[in-house]
Amino acid sequence: MSVPKVVILGAGYGGLMTAKGLAKELGYNEAEITLVNENKYHYITTKLHEPAAGTAHPDHARVSIPSVINTKRINFIQDRVSAIKLNEQEVQLENGEPLKYDYLVIGLGSAPETFGIKGLLENAFFIRNINSVRQIREHMEYMFSRYASEKKEELITIVVGGAGFTGIEYVGELVDRMPELCHDYDVPMEKVRIVNVEAAPTVLPGFDKELVDYAVKYLEGKGVEFLVNTPIEECTKEGVILKGGQEIKAATVVWTGGVRGNKLVEESGIETMRGRVKVDEQLRAPGYENVFILGDSSLVFNGERPYPPTAQISTQQGQYLGKQLAKVIRGGQITEPFVYKPKGTVASLGRREAIGVVGNKKMTGGSAAFMKKVIDLRWLFLLGGVGLALRKGKL
């Protein structure tokens, strides 16, 4: 007798939590669990702004997958998904044999949303994964290294497109990095420009105004220039052209302005909005009883508006699905809907500063920065227990 095959695509927050949950809930021989991921490691999206700025080694933002799963229960495959064939109940891989499934969990993350801005995909960098942030750091350092002989100010100008969470956290990290970077490359600090460009009328749209003001004041005090209400019209090899025609010459342009769902989901035939799927209350894809979608490729609504894609919601989805899917596999049914419980939000502004709302409490400065570290530590606990938290965490 064959056991049900569960295939989980993506070892992000949602996929990993689902896999770990299933492995915990189900006994041997109740299901065959396969986890597919492009890299051998899980990366901690909420920390990517650190290696992107060079304030932390990329290893601090990633965790080896086999080290945090029970490899006797979960079959881990390192490969890239090339297609999802819903009608054949099959997943095609770039290198390996196709995988048949009885239950499919899709947690393939996001892709940059460029809103049709010309030249962005070709010329900008993205805070997206370990590979992309290493490139940002190395590109920036290479540009800085050229300044001492070429003396062109665009070499030490960094434009960050988007002043959402990722944009602000990255800018905060850059500010922390600058003294060391300028020392190492003999660059006069006062010549460096960090320009954060945002199309919306405010930095951190939707966030508490008092906290936004705190963040802007802090970062402006460190020399960051904010341009709000300022859409980018085009990104070129030389920099960005703003709406109205003004050009900012910058050797490094990093786009953090938004994400969309993974195109494999779109290509699978499931109905999407910007590549994201409006899942039902049980995280199912519309029309497919046995296909679940988690994380950045899923849309969960809070009244009329979807929740923004975050590590927090993905983690809760994964925890939910691990438990519920185990019931289904045992022949039962999912009885309770997924309900997102926001625990709060903290945005770091470098190592010692942050802003946040936890419960109804607003926080700034050192206590918010501490809270951010506690949140990061909590994920390490969930992933790999105390050992991992001690190895990778920092307070």
Residues in contact with a second copy by the rule CB under 8 A: 57-58, 130-132, 134-135, 137-139, 141-142, 144-146, 148-149, 184-186
The active-site residue, picked from 169, 198, 266, 353, is 169
198 among known catalytic residues: no
CA angle (256, 129, 223) in 5-degree steps: 40
Residue 30: how many CB atoms within 10 A of its CB?
14
How far apart CA 234 and CA 117 sit, in angstroms, is 6
Q: How far is the CB of 321 from a second copy (least distance, A)?
A: 30
User: Which is nearer to a second copy, 243 or 391 (by Cβ)?
Assistant: 391
Closest CA to 266 of 104, 110, 95: 110
Nearest distance, CB of residue 190 and a second copy, angstroms: 17
Please report how close the Cβ of residue 352 comes to a second copy at its closest, in angstroms.
25
Dihedral in degrees, nearest 10, Cα atoms 280, 93, 19, 334 = 30
Half-sphere exposure of 91 (CA within 13 A, CB side): 28
Nearer to a second copy, 147 or 379 (CB): 147
Residue that has been written with the tokens 């370990």 in this structure: 130
Helices (H), 226-285: 263-267
Q: What is the rounded distance in angstroms from the CA atom of residue 79 to the CA atom of residue 42?
A: 13
Q: Minimal distance in Å, beta carbon 166 to a second copy?
A: 19
Q: Give the list of residues 6+ apart from residue 314 with CB closer than 8 angstroms, or none.
A: 12, 13, 14, 17, 107, 294, 295, 296
Nearer to a second copy, 131 or 246 (CB): 131
Q: How far is the CB of 51 from a second copy (least distance, A)?
A: 10
Rank residues 24 and 191 by Cβ distance to a second copy and give the closer one: 191
Distance (Å, whole) CA 373 – CA 346: 10
Tell me whether strands 239-242 and 232-235 are parallel, antiparallel or unpaired: antiparallel
**Hey, what are 166's tokens?**
């990722």
Residue 82 or 131: the one with the smaller Cβ distance to a second copy is: 131
Enumerate the active-site residues: 169
